[in-house]
Amino acid sequence: MSILLILVLIALVISGVGLVIFIMLHSGKGTGVSDAIASSLYSSQTGTSIIEKNLDRITIVFAIIFLVSLLILMIIFPQGSIAS
């Protein structure tokens, strides 16, 4: 395996796990994990909106990394098989 393949696969796995974690942290209808954390840290509504904006930004970064690494893998291995 080449070093490029290893780096792209590591980026793919880390960004995939990060996406799952940060999507789960988003609040649904006021009952999410981020609301529970925010309510214990901040008593005002502005604190939760700042946390939600940061969660959105981090999630978008992980999604971009995930998509770019998938595109790189599609370009490097168009047939879908990784030969040793």
Kindly report the average pLDDT of the chain as a whole number.
80
- Does the pLDDT of residue 30 top 80, yes or no? no
pTM for the model stands at 0.70
User: DSSP string covering the chain, please?
Assistant: --HHHHHHHHHHHHHHHHHHHHHHHS-SSS-SHHHHHHHHH-SSHHHHHHHHHHHHHHHHHHHHHHHHHHHHHHHH-TTS----
* Per-residue pLDDT tens over the stretch 3-26: 988 999 999 999 999 999 998 887
